[in-house]
Amino acid sequence: MSKKDLFDLSGKVALITGASRGIGESVARTLADYGAHVIVSSRKIDGCEAVAQSIRDAGGSAEAYACHIGEMDQIEAVWAHIEKTHGRLDILVNNAATNPHFGPIEDTDLGAFQKTVDVNIRGYFFMCARGAKLMKKQGGGAIVNVASVNGVAPGHFQGIYSVTKAAVISMTKAFAKELGQQKIRVNALLPGLTDTKFASALTTNESIKKQALTHIPMYRMADPDEMAGTVLYLVSGASSYTTGTCINVDGGYLTV
């Protein structure tokens, strides 16, 4: 492979969950820009189709498919669709996540606990497992799990979310260890504070945001597009000897 082609994704099929907005949308657009056919997935088809259509309008290749990774039947459905339609998957980016409880950890109710675990742990696990089975058939692939800096340093009032993201980090390493000889690489992105609707509980409260920024050496939030380059690296030939790695993209937050 020429060094100029290290990031070329032409002919690759990529599934990105939680791709109707935020980090997932930025990742979908970036992978399409580099030649991949992207499957834009999230819970609601309308948001997915809007992103997919804009990618097609810009000259890229994309389709939309609704999938709620907190529902096992929908996980099975998306993989059945991919196998029937494409017969392969080269890239999986697990980005969809939930955080229904923002408040004292001891006030977490069972419903919020279960929903967070079902999506952020069970959903990621079975997306990885099902993706790995399909990738094995074709001789390899790349998986990126979007975790969080909260998986390393738990966020204030984000207890169960932080616990699940720590699980994603461990899960990434476990899958990487077992799938390495199958030529399936599994890595994780650990975003810091990013200006998305998902993080609005932090970003729209000025006092909370100001406090958060004091712990970030770059003293600003990230734009979702600033996450996409790291994912591009992790799914491309540029990272052919990289697996089991968790990359912090956090403005220096974890160095403080």
Query: Of these residues, 65, 124, 161, 233, which one is catalytic?
Result: 161
Our CA dihedral for 238, 151, 32, 240, rounded to 10 degrees, sits at 20
Helix (H) or strand (E) holding 233: helix 225-235
CB atoms within 10 A of CB 217: 11
Alpha helices in 37-155 (DSSP H): 45-57, 72-85, 110-117, 124-138
Nearest to 78 by CA among 60, 65, 95, 61: 65
Annotation marks residue 161 as catalytic: yes
- Find out whether 116 and 101 touch, Cβ atoms under 8 Å: yes
Per-residue DSSP letter, 212 = H
- Find out whether 25 and 224 touch, Cβ atoms under 8 Å: yes
- Find out whether 190 and 250 touch, Cβ atoms under 8 Å: yes
Positions marked active-site: 161
